[in-house]
């Protein structure tokens, strides 16, 4: 009986050790991100061209499947841009403010997540060729750009740089 308990204990211990080893391996292999673009480059290179495609749907609805696919592609790209904006260490005039906010999951994070959620909605609307839905959500999308810029855009409207 005693030795049975002992072997049970050994078994539990080895599982514990194995778990520690596996956890250690998982931690060592955790991916690390290396931000390449500045926030401004992301805005100019990804956010502006792709949000333009979505904003335009209201005035200039897609005419064929190819144009709808284009709207889908822009929406899915913009959705992923929200994730890119959550990677800390990205250069911007307000880098420290942004990095602190990402850690606290504050306003920056909220706006970046809103960008992802709205763009995902836009993707589904584009898949359903639902102009009405895209039209309705464009105001919300624009408001998300404005909310974030109100705090984090260095120009803050026409105010000078800090």
Binding site for ligand HEC (CB under 6 A): 39-40, 43, 47-48, 51, 85, 92-93, 108, 111-112, 115, 141, 144-145, 148-149, 152-155
Q: Which is nearer to ligand HEC, 115 or 125 (CB)?
A: 115
Assigned token pair, 76: 């899915």
Least separation in angstroms between residue 117's CB and ligand HEC is: 11
Rounded Cα distance between 22 and 9, Å, is 20
Q: Which is nearer to ligand HEC, 108 or 123 (CB)?
A: 108
Q: Which is nearer to ligand HEC, 43 or 79 (CB)?
A: 43
Least separation in angstroms between residue 161's CB and ligand HEC is: 9
Rounded Cα distance between 146 and 49, Å, is 17
Least separation in angstroms between residue 13's CB and ligand HEC is: 48
Least separation in angstroms between residue 46's CB and ligand HEC is: 10
40-48, Cβ contacts within 8 angstroms, sequence gap of 24 or more: 40/92, 42/81, 42/84, 42/85, 42/90, 46/77, 46/78, 46/81, 46/84, 47/78, 47/81, 47/145
CB 122 within 8 A of CB 137: yes
Least separation in angstroms between residue 68's CB and ligand HEC is: 20
Count CB neighbours of 131 within 10 A.
Answer: 15
Q: Which is nearer to ligand HEC, 41 or 127 (CB)?
A: 41
Q: Which is nearer to ligand HEC, 87 or 93 (CB)?
A: 93
């Amino acid at each position: 009986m005693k030795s049975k308990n002992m072997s049970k204990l050994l078994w539990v211990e080895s599982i514990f050790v194995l778990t520690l080893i596996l956890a250690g391996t998982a931690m060592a292999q955790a991916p690390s991100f290396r931000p390449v673009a500045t926030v401004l480059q992301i805005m100019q290179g990804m956010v502006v061209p792709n949000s333009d495609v979505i904003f335009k749907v209201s005035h200039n609805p897609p005419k064929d499947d190819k144009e709808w696919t284009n709207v889908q592609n822009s929406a899915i790209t913009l959705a992923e841009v929200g994730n890119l904006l959550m990677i800390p260490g990205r250069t911007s005039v307000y880098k420290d403010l942004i990095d602190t906010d990402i850690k606290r999951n504050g306003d920056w994070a909220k706006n970046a997540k809103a960008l992802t959620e709205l763009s995902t909605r836009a993707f589904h609307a584009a898949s359903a060729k639902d102009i009405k839905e895209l039209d309705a959500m464009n105001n919300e999308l624009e408001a998300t750009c404005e909310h974030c810029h109100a705090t984090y855009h260095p120009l803050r409207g026409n105010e000078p740089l800090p």
